[in-house]
Structure 1
């Protein structure tokens, strides 16, 4: 702003507020990427990979990737228990639901997230994917 007797004029705009430097990019603190990183740092995260046929039958045990989760006995038992929980959740879906990727993914994601919440008291960020095989 330029303030002179008799007039006020905007000469430039400047970004204000909290910002983060991410590599060579400056982003606002409320950016979705920054928000997700913050959540991951507090709650940890994981991924579930399912291999199923077109009818939704699992062709392999669910594969889990867990990161940023502290347990008393390491992540091995949590991963094994998580794989069983995911498998049970998928098996308990109605037959038609197992043919629907969205419903199958959501069942797997929620099963693992619920287990982590019960065991560790954390609301982990969980992603799930299905590989369909003919």
Structure 2
């Protein structure tokens, strides 16, 4: 069974959405990154949404960093939800880990733990919401005006 499984969802009018189950294994990082690329390419090519290549690349990096954190710090499986509308791209990662992520300040001498620092640089916003079991991390990337 592949580590990612698309779950059909319906977004609000003018939006597209996809939810992907993550098994928590290391292979799901590249699978999640590929899913983000396919999702945004389809939004651009089939639904004529204004999604520049740089947004696709940035979204892939955001997905990679957030899913890596899920694997490193949260036990068990999780979910990746991708949503796009005219205002932006939302990347949501749900996991069962109760610990809130920390965004460390810039430190060129620190080895590792730069993931959320990178995510905050690439996104318009990054929020963390506690849930009954774990948390939901939401990163929003802006899209250029049509």
Shorter-chain TM range is: 0.3 to 0.5
Please give the TM-score of this superposition, normalised by the length of structure 2. Answer: 0.35
**Which structure shows the bigger proportion of residues in helix conformation?**
1
| Larger of the two Rg values belongs to structure | 1
